[in-house]
Structure 1
Amino acid sequence: MTEVQRPPLSADERTQLTGWLDLQRSFVRMKCTGLSEEDAHRKVLPTSPLMTPAGLVAHLRWVEYSWFQLNVMGVPDTGQTPWTEGGHVDAEMFVDDVPIAQLLDEYDAECARSNASIADLPLDALEKGKYAARGEAASLRYVLCHMIEETARHVGHLDIIRELIDGATGYTKLE
């Protein structure tokens, strides 16, 4: 894992937004480094059994896909997502049988695809997909801000879960 630095203090808006998102994304792998398969799938929150490191990584992968591919780019969902009509609302988090390394690789690949998809879009570009937030199209700027919030919130969950599993804390590389 290459350590990602904070964006420059005086960078342009796009560099700031994508830089903060990439920083939060890098913490996802960092918080999972060194976990055994058992610990990656360990249910430490009795009232939230899907909140495992593996479940959170899978969730973040599909959130990336949903916001950037389905919403921003307007790619049609042809059944590749884990969600089905009438299915469980958190279906993407049912990953007890999926190795954490695979989930992290899929997440990293999705993040790279997200970045490539939006590289040439202006921040004012509006969502093209039918899944637009609240019935109106959001700008790419909004989506980037939302994804910073979404990813950072779940990195906080990963931080707490990791501490409950083995006592590891902070944002240094865990080995």
Structure 2
Amino acid sequence: MTEVQRPPLTADERGQLTGWLDLQRSFVRMKCQGLGEEDAHRKFLPTSPLMTMAGLVAHLRWNEYSWFQLNLAGVANTGQTPWTEGGHPDAEMFVDDVPIAQLLDEYDAECARSNETIAAHSLDALEQGPYAAKGEAASLRYILCHMIEETARHVGHLDIIRELLDGTTGYTSPNEDAA
């Protein structure tokens, strides 16, 4: 059984926030471990056809980018995002033709970049991106709490979809025997 590494019980605030976010991020890859392409892109929910394992990984990747690069760091959107003026609000989830391994690698790379941005800012640092211009800037502390919530919520979706796919649940990796 995969041992889940939680943040230390006595870590400081930054250590707790980043530790819990990293823990939730680790579950994303764990939930996708051993998936074939067909299962990674299988649509179970007729009312939410974009909510696939692959679609959720892509969504989480772009949320990392949006919150930490565009919003917090104020990096200019150079058009690399899937979102366009007047486009579909969930455009980042249109990934039927993208291999799950690529999506996971892109997610991991974005999380690493997010961690670099987090390390370069104080918890009180305010967003520099589009919301700052509207006078609605959030602190890094708020963003970390939100991203823990966002990632954990979608890990729950990944857990449910994975159980529907092959019965894998909880923290057990599909290639390991449950204790």
Matches within 5 A, 1:20-169: 20-132=20-132, 135-169=135-169
Asked if the contact 2:6–2:23 (Cα under 8 Å) also holds between the matched residues in 1, the reply is: yes
Identity within the alignment, %: 85
* Most deviating of 134-143 and 163-172: 134-143
Is 1:6 the counterpart of 2:27? The answer is no
Q: Which runs of 5+ in 1 are unaligned?
A: none
- Report if aligned partners of 1:44, 1:165 keep a CA contact under 8 Å in 2: no
**CA distance in structure 2 between the aligned counterparts of 1:59 and 1:134, rounded to whole angstroms:** 25
- What letter is aligned with 1:165? L
Partner Cα distance (2:33, 2:61) in 1: 17
> Structure 2, unaligned stretches of length 5 or more?
none
Structure 2-normalised TM-score? 0.93
Are the aligned partners of 1:28 and 1:158 in contact in 2 as well (CA < 8 Å)?
yes
Q: Distance in 1 between matches of 2:133 and 2:118?
A: 18
1:120 shift after superposition: 2.6
Determine helix, strand or coil for the equivalent of 2:50.
coil
Alpha-carbon distance in structure 2 between the residues aligned to 1:133 and 1:90 = 24
CA–CA distance in structure 1, aligned partners of residues 117 and 18 of structure 2: 12
Provide the aligned length of Structure 1 versus Structure 2. 174
Instruction: Give the ranges of 4+ consecutive aligned residues of structure 1 lying more than 4 Å apart after TM superposition.
Output: 132-135
Residues 4 and 171, structure 2, Cα contact 8 Å, conserved in 1: no
- Conserved in 2, the CA contact under 8 Å of 1:41 and 1:55? yes
1:17 is aligned to 17
Given residue 51 of structure 2, which amino acid in structure 1 is its aligned partner?
M
CA separation of 1:7 and 1:161: change in aligned 2, threshold 3 A: same
- Give a deviation string over 1:55-103, Cα, whole Å, max 9, x none: 0000000000000000000001010100000110000000000000000
Quote the RMSD (CA, aligned, Å).
1.5
d(CA) in 1 for partners of 2:133, 2:166? 38
Give the partner amino acid of 2:157: H
Q: Secondary structure at the match of 2:24?
A: helix
Distance 1:135 1:77 in 2: 19
- Separation in 2, partners of 1:67, 1:9: 27
In 1: Cα distance, 2:132 partner to 2:39 partner: 36
Q: 1:104–1:128: structure 2 CA closer, same or farther, 3 Å change rule?
A: same
Q: Distance in 2 between matches of 1:129 and 1:3?
A: 38
